[in-house]
Chain A
């Protein structure tokens, strides 16, 4: 952490950046996001295993952009989001400074997005055994059981949209759920409204989700909504050999490769 703080102080004092986006102590022992604009505050930066929120979400927020050029403390989850955001033309290389951080708090500096991309090659986006087990359980259900499972799981949702706010990929200025001419997705938090919202959210993340679990971590009800996107990620890995975001290979859903499996066509 020492070298991260040192670099952050350097960047601020040389005015190379105007703000450091990082983690700091929050209330109740939980870390929160910090937006450090003074060199003196650099000491407040922390990093530990509890720092799970995806800071990349702030890179596209107008309020943060107003502060000036940022440097961002970036563990692997954030790096993945940066690459996906860059592919989607939401951030430019010259707009940000990326302070990569390893789990043991070492600084990794990147000169370009391409360097991030090659760094990520060592961190293939894969589901762990526990996730796979849960997915197998859900996939193993009959259609009726699965419908009942998700209806029950999502019944807790009261549409606070914390999942949307926490997701680095949900940067639209006007979310489809707020489009009311016509209003395809009901606003109310009833069964239909919840189901449609969560299915839509998952579909909009197909091939884009960086599997950071920020949505689940942000959910006040602890709903396993991240398993909707994980299910799709598992499909993308199995069917299309998807290993995570890249700068060039194109969008997973819209790019056709002659080697793509087509066994989903029945």
Chain B
């Protein structure tokens, strides 16, 4: 026989001003199975909670109905109070007299009647409550980091330094990402590689980090704490355990005309190559698409010249499976192509280049060893024009959003140019200067005031070649839209930062959401910026939206902290309010017939298949099984199940039915 306690809260005057709380408590006292009923000013206060605890002991209560506010706020409070008094927390339920009644009605008889009905329903539900225990899920304390740019490097090092294992997967032959391509970094002008490469080496040498370069995520299964990831290790054609990185192979390789990705196409690389001298690992891979042997079946010069015998043309892709507890996605961004701006002449004129190409020109490790020389004839440009927002903030032709980093890197480019070419003149066409950030505005002012960069507020309409010069036509909107024409030697386009080309596919593999620009979506724009909507998967860096290095590093450490917090527990405790497939006596075993339409309906892929076997091991029946690590308790499967074989614990068919009947039979 149930002994239910009903606790009606005044919520100050929030409830009691429109609901006759005393009458609710008195009426509830008369309900079948109610052993105790009382009203109190603030049930969530310490004395209020003590009242509940005392009543549980004094009246030997088997269930508790707290009639107060939204369970969203205080259900955990009251469940904890009940547990402290020795009653299973899930035997306590809340009815929402505030949002569902007092706040939305006037003070009338009917309002109080409605409050009584709400209590009546919950009393009937609590009678059918069953004690539940939190679900414990073990955590596999290894993190998977996807993408080895600065975000992936930072997050890997932070997690590894917390003492956890990290698997870092990078699709290119070396880690380093875009940051390794940059010359100097704003706003301090320190050399990008000088600050990055020590970190790259640290990653390679860290005992807690396993690095898989030239590898990609193949598939992902599982859930927070218990992911199973398949990683495709693309065939490198070089056995890195034997290779010494001496370089004999790539100096002999006859395919020398392949545009170098690292130098943004400004010079060439060979088919067997290390992307750049500071690469980690500093050992080559063979680019099969350009290798003479793979394409034509003849050559093998590198093999002949390899003294340790590290080259094996028959190596195949290898797929390995790893178990991880948390995942950080740090796949970065791409630079948008310039084909949608044909009037700027990119691709047509050799001396119209992108910002990333300028980085390589200005870099000491670049094709010109840091001298600013134009690609067409190697001359030092006397006049250079930078065009900001070449694609960004342009809903008509480019992308809607601001790429955020361009204002700053354009100022940096102009500044670097002025530092290297003292007699040169530089112009920046811009819409607005967005320099929010520590020392950023000062940096831009320095470019304008100290380095005499000419900032022109206006758009460029066209760039064309005339007598060996690039004619840049634009308008200066600060001079009443006066037309401006500059005879430049070189033009640099600040192209937009866009989502990585494979981001949509990766998001689908990971089951995380993405926005309309195909950047990965954070769980909450303000309060959960590094979490995704999938528990256990976090984001860092420009894969979420364009961002600069300081922001990326901050976010990477944030994501690492989230992973470390997850790994600080040995097992996860989850609310047991999840779906369960019934089990019955033989020969039925379960009313589930195994049609698995629930599997198609479940948004969390939580439905598994379970075989019921006899003693001899013969399968009698295959039925649905809910993975309690994945199930979020949404109830879609329950609504879908024709045989009513699935119930949500805490919201069973019986409980719902008794609530409805409490109203109808009143």
B254 to chain A minimum Cβ distance, whole angstroms, is 48
Contacts of B594 in A (CB 8 A): 89-90
Asked whether, in the complex, the Cβ of B657 is within 8 Å of the Cβ of A251, the reply is no
A205 to B429, CA, bound (A): 65
A179 to B644, CA, bound (A): 8
Asked whether, in the complex, the Cβ of A204 is within 8 Å of the Cβ of B642, the reply is yes
B650 to chain A minimum Cβ distance, whole angstroms, is 16
Partner of A176, one of B642, B654, B657: B642
Could you say which interface size class chain B belongs to? 10 to 19
- Which residue from chain B places its CB closest to the CB of A175 in the assembled complex? B643
Answer whether A254 and B640 are a contact pair too, CB < 8 Å, given A88-B597, A173-B593: yes
Q: Is A174 an interface residue (CB 8 A)?
A: yes
Asked whether, in the complex, the Cβ of A88 is within 8 Å of the Cβ of B596, the reply is yes
Contacts of B596 in A (CB 8 A): 88-89
* Contact mask for chain A residues 241-266; partner B; CB cutoff 8 A; 1 contact, 0 none: 00000000011011100000000000
Contacts of B568 in A (CB 8 A): none
- Which residue from chain A places its CB closest to the CB of B589 in the assembled complex? A173
Asked whether, in the complex, the Cβ of B600 is within 8 Å of the Cβ of A171, the reply is no
A175 to chain B minimum Cβ distance, whole angstroms, is 7
From residue 554 to 600 of chain B, which have CB atoms closer than 8 A to chain A?
Answer: 588, 591, 593-597, 600
A173 to B591, CA, bound (A): 7
Asked whether, in the complex, the Cβ of A90 is within 8 Å of the Cβ of B593, the reply is yes
Contacts of A251 in B (CB 8 A): 597, 600-601
Asked whether, in the complex, the Cβ of B591 is within 8 Å of the Cβ of A174, the reply is yes
Asked whether, in the complex, the Cβ of A182 is within 8 Å of the Cβ of B600, the reply is no
Partner of B601, one of A89, A173, A254: A254
A250 to B600, CA, bound (A): 7
Contacts of A176 in B (CB 8 A): 642-644
Contacts of A147 in B (CB 8 A): none
Q: Is A115 an interface residue (CB 8 A)?
A: no
Asked whether, in the complex, the Cβ of B597 is within 8 Å of the Cβ of A172, the reply is no
Contacts of A161 in B (CB 8 A): none
B265 to chain A minimum Cβ distance, whole angstroms, is 37
Asked whether, in the complex, the Cβ of B595 is within 8 Å of the Cβ of A90, the reply is yes
Q: Is B392 an interface residue (CB 8 A)?
A: no
Contacts of A90 in B (CB 8 A): 593-595
A210 to chain B minimum Cβ distance, whole angstroms, is 15
- Which residue from chain A places its CB closest to the CB of B654 in the assembled complex? A182
Contacts of B653 in A (CB 8 A): 181-182, 184
Contacts of A184 in B (CB 8 A): 644, 653, 657
Contacts of A253 in B (CB 8 A): 597, 601, 640
- Which residue from chain B places its CB closest to the CB of A170 in the assembled complex? B642
Partner of B588, one of A89, A174, A204, A255: A174
Q: Is B622 an interface residue (CB 8 A)?
A: yes
B607 to chain A minimum Cβ distance, whole angstroms, is 11
Contacts of A88 in B (CB 8 A): 595-597
Partner of B593, one of A172, A182, A255: A172
* Contact mask for chain B residues 630-649; partner A; CB cutoff 8 A; 1 contact, 0 none: 00000010001011100000
A71 to B600, CA, bound (A): 30
A175 to B645, CA, bound (A): 10
A250 to B596, CA, bound (A): 11
Q: Is B263 an interface residue (CB 8 A)?
A: no
A251 to B654, CA, bound (A): 28
Q: Is B658 an interface residue (CB 8 A)?
A: yes
From residue 316 to 361 of chain B, which have CB atoms closer than 8 A to chain A?
Answer: none
Asked whether, in the complex, the Cβ of A171 is within 8 Å of the Cβ of B593, the reply is yes
Could you say which interface size class chain A belongs to? 10 to 19
Asked whether, in the complex, the Cβ of A182 is within 8 Å of the Cβ of B591, the reply is no
* Contact mask for chain A residues 163-189; partner B; CB cutoff 8 A; 1 contact, 0 none: 000000001111110010110100000
- Which residue from chain B places its CB closest to the CB of A254 in the assembled complex? B601
Contacts of A173 in B (CB 8 A): 588, 591, 593, 643
Answer whether A255 and B600 are a contact pair too, CB < 8 Å, given A89-B595, A174-B588: yes
Contacts of A182 in B (CB 8 A): 653-654, 657-658
Answer whether A172 and B643 are a contact pair too, CB < 8 Å, given A88-B595, A182-B657: yes
B637 to chain A minimum Cβ distance, whole angstroms, is 9
Asked whether, in the complex, the Cβ of A89 is within 8 Å of the Cβ of B622, the reply is yes
Asked whether, in the complex, the Cβ of A179 is within 8 Å of the Cβ of B654, the reply is no
A239 to chain B minimum Cβ distance, whole angstroms, is 18
Asked whether, in the complex, the Cβ of A254 is within 8 Å of the Cβ of B644, the reply is no
Partner of B643, one of A89, A179, A255: A179
B136 to chain A minimum Cβ distance, whole angstroms, is 29
Partner of A179, one of B588, B591, B593, B636: B591
B454 to chain A minimum Cβ distance, whole angstroms, is 49
A153 to B643, CA, bound (A): 26
Contacts of B622 in A (CB 8 A): 89
A173 to B597, CA, bound (A): 16
A38 to B596, CA, bound (A): 36
From residue 266 to 287 of chain B, which have CB atoms closer than 8 A to chain A?
Answer: none
A184 to B636, CA, bound (A): 18
A246 to chain B minimum Cβ distance, whole angstroms, is 13
Contacts of B644 in A (CB 8 A): 176, 179, 184
- Which residue from chain B places its CB closest to the CB of A184 in the assembled complex? B657
From residue 108 to 142 of chain A, which have CB atoms closer than 8 A to chain B?
Answer: none
- Which residue from chain B places its CB closest to the CB of A250 in the assembled complex? B600
* Contact mask for chain A residues 217-253; partner B; CB cutoff 8 A; 1 contact, 0 none: 0000000000000000000000000000000001101
* Contact mask for chain B residues 276-307; partner A; CB cutoff 8 A; 1 contact, 0 none: 00000000000000000000000000000000
Contacts of B600 in A (CB 8 A): 250-251, 254-255
Contacts of B658 in A (CB 8 A): 182
* Contact mask for chain B residues 98-118; partner A; CB cutoff 8 A; 1 contact, 0 none: 000000000000000000000
A89 to B642, CA, bound (A): 15
B502 to chain A minimum Cβ distance, whole angstroms, is 21
Partner of B654, one of A175, A181, A250: A181
Contacts of B654 in A (CB 8 A): 181-182
From residue 349 to 387 of chain B, which have CB atoms closer than 8 A to chain A?
Answer: none
Answer whether A174 and B643 are a contact pair too, CB < 8 Å, given A184-B653, A184-B657: yes
A139 to chain B minimum Cβ distance, whole angstroms, is 26
* Contact mask for chain A residues 81-93; partner B; CB cutoff 8 A; 1 contact, 0 none: 0000000111000
A99 to B414, CA, bound (A): 79
A204 to B639, CA, bound (A): 11
Contacts of B640 in A (CB 8 A): 253-254
Asked whether, in the complex, the Cβ of A172 is within 8 Å of the Cβ of B588, the reply is no
Partner of B597, one of A174, A175, A254: A254
A204 to B597, CA, bound (A): 11
A176 to B642, CA, bound (A): 6
Asked whether, in the complex, the Cβ of B601 is within 8 Å of the Cβ of A172, the reply is no
A212 to chain B minimum Cβ distance, whole angstroms, is 18
A229 to B642, CA, bound (A): 16
The 4 closest A-B pairs by CB, nearest first: A182-B657, A254-B601, A88-B595, A254-B600
Which residues in B have some Cβ–Cβ distance to A below 8 Å? 588, 591, 593-597, 600-601, 622, 636, 640, 642-644, 653-654, 657-658
10 pairs, CB–CB < 8 Å, chain A vs chain B: A89-B622, A90-B593, A173-B591, A174-B591, A174-B643, A179-B643, A182-B654, A253-B597, A254-B601, A254-B636
With A88-B596, A90-B594, A171-B593 known, 16 other A-B pairs at CB within 8 A are A88-B595, A89-B622, A90-B593, A172-B591, A172-B593, A173-B643, A182-B654, A182-B657, A184-B653, A250-B600, A251-B597, A251-B601, A253-B597, A253-B601, A253-B640, A254-B600
